[in-house]
Amino acid sequence: MKEVESILHDKNVRPTAMRLLVYQILSENKNAISLTDIENQLKTADRTTLYRTIKTFEEQGIVHPIEDGTGITKYALCAAYCNADKHKDLHLHFHCKVCEETTCLTEYSIPQISIPEGYITEDINFTVSGVCKKCNQG
């Protein structure tokens, strides 16, 4: 059994051909990508299938969604220890307004914060936007 196949298997996701391809694409892109990006890189696949594949991946802790402020949700692979119960990759995300790329800053953790008494935290989104290093050196 190939590596990707066993990863999906471990996360309780049936390793279909389509899913292996989507996983492949996600792992080849160093930036976070949108559903449309995936669609463009996988001309054969139907958008609906991709949509539901990503949804499944998200639910099973394989990818995490990123709201980068563009209104288009991006996705990136999770750390190995994420699972269906909890996403544990709480890092910053950066969106460059010049090149439009959205990146996981996996080395930069979301800082601890307090929220008002009585509120329950389930998800945290910390996204910084501006100009990335590459675009800053023009």
Partner DNA sequence: TTAGATAATGCAATGGAAGTGCATTATCCT
Partner DNA sequence: AGGATAATGCACTTCCATTGCATTATCTAA
C-alpha torsion angle, residues 128, 88, 85, 30 (rounded to 10): 70
Q: Is 15 in the site for DNA (CB under 7 A)?
A: yes
Burial code (b: 16+ CB inside 10 Å, e: under 16) for 98-119 equals: eeebbbbeeeeeeeeeeeeeee
Q: Is 120 in the site for a second copy (CB under 8 A)?
A: yes
Residue 76 binding partner per list a second copy, Mn ion, DNA, none, with a CB distance cut-off of 5 to 8 Å that depends on partner kind: Mn ion
Question: Nearer to DNA by C-beta: 100 or 130?
Answer: 100
| Cα–Cα distance, 31 to 9 (Å, whole number) | 24
Site for DNA in 26-55 (CB under 7 A): 34-36, 44-49, 51-53
The H or E element that residue 64 is part of is strand 63-66
**Which residues sit at the interface with a second copy, rule CB under 8 A?**
67, 69, 71, 73, 92, 94, 97, 105, 107-108, 111, 113-133, 136-137
**Which residues sit at the interface with DNA, rule CB under 7 A?**
13-19, 34-36, 44-49, 51-53, 56, 71-73
